């Protein structure tokens, strides 16, 4: 595995920089010539004003009647954001600040190198014919921020608040922090101390404190200080202290990471660097990541407020933790969502009139406040079901059945209770979903909804199956409605007749265009309710795949590419699964390796308008897609090497965590399985398939028992 990640300067844009972080704070190291910038962001630095408090007007009956009447204006009015303080429409993460390090005039930045197993970043520069280094590390306990070693007397430091950077970037135009009601920060500049304290309109103040001593500086982020003088009395740890603790944390982290070998340098680099970024983004001591994690631009408000998008982005950001066995990295997300239960219950009460439901909007801040302005997203209840699936999967992978009993079962039931009120029962006893959406398809238009969205149906079936499995685990009686869903609700919406049937977005609507959100195929991935290897689905899957392929990738974004790789693996199209990952790296990563929403250049996709917008979802999606090449679950059957091209000379994986508490290792050479080891973390029965062997294999294992298979 590649354990040193390196890129060359110049890196003239922030989101091209080397990434440091601890799950709460993020830093980019970027610049050119003799100027190194260190942009600081914080994943919890929210301006909580604005948003859309749920109201009784926002109910399913109203939406259904308005759609039938064609009254789109009324729908948009009800779901619009509520303006506060004159011009504040939505909550948003706030930029923090920047450290500027001026090297001597004759020095020049050359490259950065990240020793992944140590969490140590080196900035290599050239001066007087010699290569020299500046070393950076982060405090993974999150009690402190960052530290740097390698300063010389000829180097100078600046600390610039984002209030100043933002105002300068906009030329004082509306949109700056000043325009949002922020006052200028208090600033201190002394020989060894640089600091600023920024008051916020309604939230606690925030501050950055930099202390320089000899060859080092330490940098802390603080909340709630009253004065700069109070802030400056804080003691900061030396570089050696943070580095030692950081190295211990990262050594333990990478010892747990499943190893993969592919013989493909780019793919291995994507995996290793991606797992490093997963660690600095989802550190359990931090907070759950939004669209950009903690790497917020220091000179502007983040795109889409840097918020939590629950219709794929949050899920994708957290997804590598399952197969990596980093289960504690998932808990910040679950704790956050479960802390909103009261408001989610109120949302459900407003939406369908029940007291025992939970409903999560598709885009929120860290308090669960709906962003508003996107009515189709606000009624996308599959968002809630997807989070419920993640919670169940965590319990299944980890064996944490106490959490399943104490928290997850209730949450899943509440989510299903909302769906139950949304479903109609037809005269023949079948269930239908009369008004439903397919994420982001047709935006907020009146026709952006229809009957029996395949994405929603897949979410409901996945939820019903997990509820039935949970009832069995906990020895409780299942609700008859869950069984009814399995029997009476279609798995998806089908378009066409006979052998021309294919999966539709909703009734009567096949895929019309290239689209970034492959939601109509959600029954294949992520919800795993349709088995593409089942002969009964063979023709339907073929037709669906042909249309999806034929519409092309011309309107895909970065995260859509990595999701497509996961789908291709499950469809048994290994070469295309790997191609998606190659395309993503070439088209959707910048010079510094940063993950882009839009393509880096024109010619591949229409989404190439703004090639500086960074989001973390696609990077994490790429890591998960690589894991899926080696192993994934289809309807309770583990499929090994289904995403590995048969012409690869040798590929292997070690200690990959899988559903049912299985830990697997294996090797695949030139289209043949040469070794497979299955170890059980608890008593379990493993059902699996191999691409070079026919039939279904089944093994029963006791806790701690391993089966070593040679072929």
Of 211, 238, 256, the residue at which a domain comes to its end is 256
Domain count, the chain: 3
- Please, which residues bridge with residue 509 across strands? 506
Provide the pLDDT for residue 609. Answer: 86
Residue 444 lies in a domain: yes
Does 663 lie in the same domain as 585? no
Does 368 lie in the same domain as 453? yes
Residue 642 lies in a domain: no
For residue 271, the domain's CATH number is 1.50.10.10
The token pair that represents 479 in the structure block: 């609700």
Does 387 lie in the same domain as 361? yes
In 3D space, the residue among 547, 616, 609, 618 whose CA is nearest the CA of residue 586 turns out to be 618
Provide the pLDDT for residue 580. Answer: 98
Residues 336, 133: contact at Cβ < 8 Å?
Answer: no
Does 339 lie in the same domain as 485? yes
Residue 646 lies in a domain: no
Low-confidence ranges of the chain (pLDDT < 50): none
Does 40 lie in the same domain as 18? yes
CA atoms of 147 and 139, how far apart (whole Å): 8
Listed in order, strand segments (DSSP E) in 401-493 are: 424-425, 431-432
Provide the pLDDT for residue 386. Answer: 98
Residue 540 lies in a domain: yes
Provide the pLDDT for residue 230. Answer: 87
Instruction: Report pTM.
Output: 0.97
Residues 71, 78: contact at Cβ < 8 Å?
Answer: no
In 3D space, the residue among 326, 262, 270 whose CA is nearest the CA of residue 630 turns out to be 262
Residue 54 lies in a domain: no
Query: What's the Rg (C-alpha) of the chain?
Result: 26
Does 327 lie in the same domain as 199? no
Residue 140 lies in a domain: yes
Q: What is the DSSP string of 249-295?
A: HHHHHHHHSPEEE-S-HHHHHHHHHHHHHHHHHH-TTS----TTTT-
Q: What is the DSSP letter of 455?
A: H
Q: CB within 8 A of 664, min separation 6: which ones? A: 631, 638, 640, 653, 655, 656, 658, 676, 677, 678, 679
Helix, strand, coil % over all residues of the chain, rounded to 5: 35, 25, 40
Does 74 lie in the same domain as 43? no
Q: Note down the domain range covering 284.
A: 60-86+266-628
Contacts 24+ apart (CB under 8 A), 670-673: 670/646, 671/646, 671/647, 672/711, 673/640, 673/641, 673/711
Burial class (CB in 10 A: 0-12, 13-18, 19+), 401: middle
Provide the pLDDT for residue 171. Answer: 55
Residue 40 lies in a domain: yes
The token pair that represents 116 in the structure block: 């992944």
**Judging by DSSP bridges, how do beta strands 697-701 and 684-689 pair with one another?**
antiparallel
Q: What is the DSSP string of 639-700?
A: EESTTS-TT-S-EEEEEEEETTTEEEEEEEETTEEEEEEEEESSSEEEEEE-TTS-S-EEEE
Does 545 lie in the same domain as 691? no
Coil, strand or helix: which one is 100?
Answer: strand
Does 343 lie in the same domain as 215? no
CA atoms of 364 and 67, how far apart (whole Å): 25
Does 320 lie in the same domain as 304? yes
Residues 253, 279: contact at Cβ < 8 Å?
Answer: yes
Residues 33, 108: contact at Cβ < 8 Å?
Answer: yes
For residue 38, the domain's CATH number is 2.70.98.50
Of 628, 662, 684, the residue at which a domain comes to its end is 628
Residues 2, 276: contact at Cβ < 8 Å?
Answer: no
Starting at the edge strand found earlier in the chain, the sheet holding 156-161 runs: 18-21, 25-32, 35-42, 97-102, 156-161
Provide the pLDDT for residue 2. Answer: 52
In 3D space, the residue among 441, 433, 450, 445 whose CA is nearest the CA of residue 385 turns out to be 433
Residues 470, 408: contact at Cβ < 8 Å?
Answer: yes
Does 279 lie in the same domain as 234? no
Does 297 lie in the same domain as 153? no
CA atoms of 419 and 415, how far apart (whole Å): 7
Provide the pLDDT for residue 229. Answer: 87
Residue 53 lies in a domain: no
């Amino acid at each position: 595995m590649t354990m040193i990640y390196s890129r060359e300067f110049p890196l003239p844009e922030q989101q091209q920089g080397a990434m440091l972080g601890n799950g709460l704070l993020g830093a980019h190291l970027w610049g050119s010539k003799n100027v190194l910038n260190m942009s600081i962001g914080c994943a919890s630095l929210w301006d909580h004003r604005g948003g859309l408090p749920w109201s009784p007007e926002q109910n399913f009956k109203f939406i259904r009647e308005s759609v039938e009447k064609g009254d789109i204006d009324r729908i948009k009015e009800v779901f619009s954001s509520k303006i506060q303080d004159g011009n504040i429409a939505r909550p948003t993460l706030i930029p923090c600040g920047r450290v500027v390090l001026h090297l001597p005039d004759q020095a020049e930045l050359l490259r950065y190198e990240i020793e992944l197993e140590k969490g140590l970043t080196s900035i290599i520069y050239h001066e007087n014919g010699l290569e020299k280094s500046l070393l950076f590390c982060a405090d993974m306990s999150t009690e402190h921020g960052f530290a740097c070693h390698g300063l010389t007397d000829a180097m100078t430091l600046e600390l610039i608040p984002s209030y100043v950077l933002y105002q300068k970037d906009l030329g004082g135009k509306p949109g700056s922090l000043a325009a949002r009601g922020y006052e200028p920060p208090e600033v201190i500049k002394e020989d060894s101390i640089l600091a600023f304290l920024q008051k916020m309109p309604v939230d606690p103040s925030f501050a950055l404190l930099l202390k320089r001593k000899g060859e080092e500086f330490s940098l802390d982020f603080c909340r709630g200080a009253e004065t700069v003088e109070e802030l400056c009395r804080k003691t900061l740890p030396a570089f050696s202290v943070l580095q030692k603790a950081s190295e211990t944390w990262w050594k333990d982290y990478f010892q747990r990471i499943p190893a993969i070998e592919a013989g493909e340098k780019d793919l291995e680099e994507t995996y290793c660097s991606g797992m490093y970024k997963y660690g600095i983004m989802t550190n359990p001591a931090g907070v759950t990541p939004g669209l950009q994690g903690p790497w917020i631009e220091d000179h502007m408000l983040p795109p889409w407020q840097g918020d939590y998008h629950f219709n794929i982005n949050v899920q994708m950001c957290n997804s590598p933790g399952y197969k990596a066995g980093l289960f504690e990295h998932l808990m910040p997300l679950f704790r956050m969502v479960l802390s909103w239960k009261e408001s989610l219950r109120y949302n459900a009460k407003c939406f369908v009139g029940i007291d025992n439901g939970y409903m999560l909007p598709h885009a929120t801040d860290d308090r669960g406040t709906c962003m508003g302005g996107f009515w189709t997203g606000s009624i996308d209840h599959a968002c809630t079901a997807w989070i419920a699936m993640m919670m169940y999967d965590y319990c299944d992978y980890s064996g944490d059945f106490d959490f399943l009993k104490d928290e997850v079962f209730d949450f899943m039931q509440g989510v299903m209770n909302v769906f139950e009120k949304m479903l109609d029962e037809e005269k023949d006893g079948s269930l239908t979903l009369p008004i439903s959406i397919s994420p982001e398809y047709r935006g907020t238009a009146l026709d952006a909804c229809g009957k029996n969205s395949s994405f929603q149906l897949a979410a409901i079936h996945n939820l019903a199956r997990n509820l039935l499995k949970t009832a069995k685990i906990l020895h409780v009686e299942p609700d008859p409605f869950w069984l009814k869903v399995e029997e009476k609700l279609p798995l998806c919406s089908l378009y066409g007749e006979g052998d021309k049937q294919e999966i539709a977005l909703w009734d009567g609507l096949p895929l019309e265009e290239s689209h970034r959100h492959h939601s109509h195929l959600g029954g294949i991935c992520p919800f795993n309710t349709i088995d593409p290897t089942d002969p009964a689905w063979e023709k339907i899957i073929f037709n669906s795949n042909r249309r999806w392929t034929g519409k092309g990738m011309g309107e895909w974004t970065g995260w859509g590419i990595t999701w497509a790789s996961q789908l291709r693996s499950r469809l048994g199209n290994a070469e295309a699964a790997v191609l998606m990952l190659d395309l993503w790296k070439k088209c959707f990563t910048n010079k510094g390796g940063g993950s882009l929403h839009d393509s880096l250049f024109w010619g591949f996709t229409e989404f190439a308008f703004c090639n500086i917008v960074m989001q973390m979802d696609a990077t994490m999606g790429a890591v998960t897609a690589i894991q899926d090449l080696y192993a994934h679950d289809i309807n309770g059957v583990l499929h090994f090497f289904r995403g590995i091209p048969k012409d690869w000379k040798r590929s292997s994986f070690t200690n990959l965590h899988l559903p049912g508490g299985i830990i697997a290792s294996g090797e695949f050479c030139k289209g043949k399985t040469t070794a497979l080891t299955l170890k059980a973390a608890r008593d379990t029965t493993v059902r699996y398939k191999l691409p070079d062997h026919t039939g279904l294999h089944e093994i029963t294992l006791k806790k701690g028992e391993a089966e070593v298979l040679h072929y």
